[in-house]
Amino acid sequence: MSFAVETYDLTKRYGNFRALDRLNIKIETSRIRVLLGPNGSGKTTFLHLISTVLRPSEGTASVLGYDIVRQQLQVRRLVAIAFQDPRGFWRHKPKHILSFHASMYGVREPERSKIVERTLKEFELWDSKDKKFMDLSGGQAKRLEVAKLFVSPPRLALLDEPTAMVDLDGKRLVWDKIKELSERGSTIIVATNEVREAEYLADKITIFSSGKDVVTDTLSNLKDSVRGGDVVDLEFAEPATSFVVEIIRTIPGTVGIIEVDPRHLRVSVTRSEDWLPIAVKHLQGVRIQSIHITEPSLDDIFMTIVKPRKSVA
Amino acid sequence: MSQLAALVKVTRVDLSYFFRTKWLILTLITLNLSDMFVVGLVYTNMMNFDYFVFYVPGVIIAGMFAAALDVGRRVHLGLSEGVSQYYLSLPLSLNGLAFAHILSAGLGGLIFSSILLVVAFSFVHGLLSLSTLAMIPFMFFVSMGLGGIAAVINLFSGGGDRFWAFAEGVQMALLGMSTVFYPLPAVESIMPWYATIAIAYNPLSQIADALRSAAASAPLSSYSLATISLTSLLMLFIGFFCYRHVFSKVRLLGKI
Amino acid sequence: MNTYQISSLLMFDLREAFNSLLWVGYSWIYFLFQFFVYGSIISTLVVTVHNYFFYYGTGLVVLSTFNIASWSGRRFVEGAHEGRLRYILSLPIGRGEFFMEQLALGVIVNLIRTLPPVLIVLLLSGLFTPFSFVSTLAVITLLAIGIMGLMVSLSVIAFKSFDIYSAIVAALSALLIRFSTISYPISSMNELYARATLSNPIAYGADLLRRAIGLDNSLLLNASMATSVLVALAVGTIFLGIFFATKFVEGVKSS
């Protein structure tokens, strides 16, 4: 298997803070890899490093066979990035921004104008082609940012939260276009903290936390790998006391407990069919309003792996 | 919270933004001091009168203008960044908000020019006098008037990045068409009579000349002080209504 | 060298620079006002310089070049904080090439903005000849390359902090403009100021420009010395800027 990106102890420091800490990761060619993690987990730093926008403090990475420290220009010829918060070209019009982007990758007229027109139409920006960037809505600006990658499809496309600020219709449009880009042979890396986006797009998911990659796998394997195969939602008539939480913790098969709200506990368990009868017995006297058993969602995996703030287990 | 307390709070926030940006204060002070001690001294060698003594009060007034406009620029930033929209959600009347912004510009200009004045005391000995101290309330009036000019610029520069262009243009016009940098006889020898009258009655000319009179221990003309007060008050009122208009528009449209 | 990409970037930046005609028009109005109001009044007071009006007008052209250079640097720093820089850094052009493009942008903007003032000074002083016009433009270009190189190099060093850049520009403005022959000849200065001025390349630029226009050269610095200083400034700042750009420039967290 060939890899589009391989990092070797890739590190980025700002003073004493390590935004990325000795990252070693491999990303397969022609696949969609989603980087999932909370804000500040190092996803954006990683994308900026492999697009050579940032310089690593230590370590390096190979991008499509080129070193990001010694062969920056070769890397940039093959990589394009859609940034998280598109800004900076306030007075330019969308058609000029796309035309400029295409020209930077060597697309010449008259081909360029045709590509720009087609891309603006595909991203539903044609009616706004003559507006100034500063007059676009947040969603339009974001679609324009993603559209840049389509005027000259790169071999490695990096997208940083591509659908933040985009409405529901727009999200689906962007996601489908990303899949289309992948089908055309580009390797895609998407950084997001939207679980739904990851579920829709990812061939593989890497979960980031505190500047490190915590785990990488397919969605189904990640679900299987969660400690505890099922999730049990318990709703109580009254707020669950610490005594109730303590009882649940001692039940054999309890893996983790998340307090959704004072009356609602979400418990990760190994096998719900074994766990539930014991739990009901132990919780006699506690007024339980409802019990729901579900498979763990990516949300649960994410919350379990990145240590939720409200975990009481 | 009473209207007065709210007004004081907005004024304090405006002022703290100005004085907290230490690099800006340092920038303005450096530029003004280099004007005094380089430009003023070299021009003295090129003219047949002590231009330095004439020029220093002019620099103090120019510094006051720059500081008052910068506080106004922060109001402009506040308009585009949503700070003004936040102020409008507070229990503070439109009049209170408009006046608070003009007051903060006035105080900013006064405090900044006082720093320059203190430096100037050491080099233009006549400046350190009771007459100069008596000028401070009038400097405050002029500074408030300049705050009013910042309001007018805010009204006309809208939501774009035109504030600086307009501010520099107004600064250039009002300082150039005044006796801040050159004496009235020099103006009279070049300018038509109507321009000379405008220059003579420019409050910046009046306050700069009053400071020069104080430095020369000459009696302060009550006519001149009355002109300073009236013209400053006029600018203040115009500015007040401009801010009222700006904030009414923001309240109506959400932005300027 | 990615000539096609660099020229595309230059055209894109020029489109932005001249998008708002307000700024271009404003710079001309500023010159007209300063020249005809301030310049003519202050000229009546100056007794040591013959024809100070045109001496001052030429100084204004140099001042305008300095201001446009500050603008170029400021634009670079603003770009770093507004997200423009990181985007450019992700494009397939070298850091050194990017620096050269920024330099070229500043020089072109400067030429367009200073052309009308130069023509006004040349025509009103009666010194317009094809030779004086061409040599004046050549000096302005050389001076612009030097000052742009200096300011863009500084912005490349200080690009992570807008405050630091502004403080540097203010300090430079206080030193390079005040201790120079932009507004007054070196003969009017005391010894200390004159010594500081003699180590300031902008002073040589201003006096060389006056020579190119054809103003009275009795108060001006030596021409061959001035040319050498300006060439050294231009070449030095280009190499320095490319070095800094290659070594230090990277994306900045947007503010």
Domains of chain B, by residue range, sit at 3-253
Of A190, A223, A256, the residue that ends a domain is A223
Q: Is residue C254 part of a domain?
A: no
Share of chain C above pLDDT 90, in %: 53
| C-beta separation of B137 from B224 below 8 A | no
Q: Is residue A287 part of a domain?
A: yes
Same domain for A182 and A299: no
Of A223, A252, A280, the residue that ends a domain is A223
Same domain for A204 and A266: no
pLDDT band of residue A226 (cuts 50, 70, 90) is low
Same domain for A153 and A283: no
CATH number where A256 lies: 3.30.70.260
Same domain for A273 and A194: no
| C-beta separation of C33 from B169 below 8 A | no
Query: Which of B46, B55, B172, B205 has the highest number of chain C CBs within 10 A, making it the mutation to test binding with C?
Result: B46
Tell me the chain B residues in contact with residue C44 when contact means C-beta distances shorter than 8 Å: 186, 189-190
CATH number where A94 lies: 3.40.50.300
List, in sequence order, every residue forming a beta bridge with A28; answer none if it has no partner: A3
Same domain for A273 and A184: no
pLDDT digits (tens, 9 = 90+) for A57-116: 999 999 999 999 999 999 999 999 999 888 777 778 999 999 999 999 989 889 999 999
List, in sequence order, every residue forming a beta bridge with A23; answer none if it has no partner: A10
CB contact under 8 A, C84 and A89: yes
Same domain for A26 and A141: yes
CA dist A312 and C250 (Å) reads 42
Residue A235 has pLDDT above 80, yes or no: yes
Q: What is the pLDDT of residue C211?
A: 92
Q: What backbone phi and psi angles, to 5 degrees, belong to A123?
A: -95, 15
Tell me the chain B residues in contact with residue C179 when contact means C-beta distances shorter than 8 Å: 38
A26 touches chain C (CB under 8 A): no
The closest CB to that of C33, out of B24, B27, B173, belongs to: B173
Residue in the block written with tokens 């009235």: B184
Same domain for A285 and A257: yes
Containing structural domain, residue C31? 3-248
Q: How far are the Cα atoms of A37, A41, A42, A210 from residue A17, in angstroms, in the given order?
A: 18, 12, 11, 10
Same domain for A106 and A53: yes
pLDDT band of residue C169 (cuts 50, 70, 90) is confident
Residue C251 has pLDDT above 80, yes or no: no
Query: Which of C42, C63, C64, C255 has the highest number of chain B CBs within 10 A, making it the mutation to test binding with B?
Result: C42
Say if the ipTM goes beyond 0.85. yes
Mean pLDDT for B170-193 is 93
Q: Which helix (H) or strand (E) holds C104?
A: helix C95-124
Query: Which of B31, B41, B42 has the highest number of chain C CBs within 10 A, making it the mutation to test binding with C?
Result: B42
The closest CB to that of C83, out of A77, A88, A106, belongs to: A88
Q: Is residue C255 part of a domain?
A: no
Containing structural domain, residue A14? 3-223
What's the start-to-end Cα distance of chain B, in Å?
A: 28
pLDDT band of residue A309 (cuts 50, 70, 90) is very low
Q: Is A54 helix (H, G, I), strand (E, B) or coil?
A: coil
Residue C255 has pLDDT above 50, yes or no: no
Query: How close, in Å, is residue A163 to chain C by CA atoms?
Result: 18
Q: B190-223: b or e for each residue (b if 16 or more CB lie within 10 Å)?
A: bbeeeebeebbebbbbbbbbbbbbbbeeeebeee
Residue A296 has pLDDT above 90, yes or no: no
Q: What is the pLDDT of residue B175?
A: 94
Tell me the chain A residues in contact with residue C246 when contact means C-beta distances shorter than 8 Å: none
pLDDT digits (tens, 9 = 90+) for B210-248: 999 888 888 878 888 999 999 999 999 999 999 999 999
Q: Which helix (H) or strand (E) holds B131?
A: helix B130-157
Residues 187-206 on C with a CB inside 8 Å of B are 188-190, 193
Per the structure, the count of domains in chain C is: 1
CA dist B23 and C241 (Å) reads 25
Q: What is the pLDDT of residue B256?
A: 67
Q: How far are the Cα atoms of A249, C163, C207 from residue C198, in angstroms, in the given order?
A: 81, 29, 11
Q: What is the pLDDT of residue A313?
A: 40
Q: What is the pLDDT of residue A225?
A: 65
Q: Is residue A247 part of a domain?
A: yes
Residue in chain C closest to A87 (alpha carbons) equals C83
Closest CA to C185 of B43, B34, B54: B43
Per the structure, the count of domains in chain A is: 2
CB contact under 8 A, B46 and C188: yes
Residue A312 has pLDDT above 50, yes or no: no
C22 touches chain B (CB under 8 A): yes
pLDDT digits (tens, 9 = 90+) for B73-121: 888 888 877 788 888 888 888 889 999 999 999 999 999 999 999 988 8
Query: How close, in Å, is residue C63 to chain A by CA atoms?
Result: 27
Q: Is residue C110 part of a domain?
A: yes
Of A193, A223, A253, the residue that ends a domain is A223
Which of A214-223, A262-271, C44-53 is the least confident region? A214-223
How much is the pTM? Answer: 0.81
Residue C1 has pLDDT above 70, yes or no: no
Same domain for A259 and A204: no
CA angle at A121 for the pair A119 and A123, rounded to the nearest 5°:
70
Q: What is the pLDDT of residue A305?
A: 67
| C-beta separation of B108 from B142 below 8 A | no
Q: Is residue A134 part of a domain?
A: yes
Q: What is the mean pLDDT of chain A?
A: 86
Tell me the chain C residues in contact with residue A113 when contact means C-beta distances shorter than 8 Å: none
Residue C236 has pLDDT above 50, yes or no: yes
Q: Is residue A312 part of a domain?
A: no
Q: What is the mean pLDDT of chain C?
A: 88
Counted residue by residue, chain C has a size of 255
Q: What is the pLDDT of residue B161?
A: 66
